[in-house]
Amino acid sequence: MKPRGVAGTSLLYKILGAASYLDKGIDYICNLGKDILENLFTFGISMDSCSLPGKPKSHSLKDNEIEIGMGIHGEPGKQKVEWKECNEIVNELLA
């Protein structure tokens, strides 16, 4: 599984926008962006797969399943597991 940063992208834009607002040069902003991207990872929990326009769903989950780490375009995640309590999921993601 490759690292993903779907939710982190908005943070990247905000940080780089702030650097631009502070009159940082383009080289500084590009290097800052590269540093951020090399260290940016987000993880999500999905209750169902998605479909791209004109395409079928990439896969399906059972009614009692969630998928940890599914990509924004329906790429397979790290694992499929049975529903868990929120605190259990958070502890697993932090581990």
**Annotated active-site residue in 34, 55, 73, 78:** 73
Whether 3 is in a domain gets the answer: no
Per residue of the chain (95 residues), give pLDDT as tens.
Answer: 455 566 788 889 999 999 999 999 999 999 999 999 888 877 778 888 777 788 888 778 898 999 888 777 777 788 899 998 989 988 888 88
Same-domain check for residues 53 and 86: yes
Contacts of 77 (CB under 8 A, 6+ apart): 1, 46, 67, 68, 69, 70, 71
Nearest to 72 by CA among 94, 93, 52: 52
Same-domain check for residues 55 and 29: no
Is 59 a known active-site residue? Answer: no
Whether 21 is in a domain gets the answer: yes
The parent domain of residue 24 ranges over 8-38
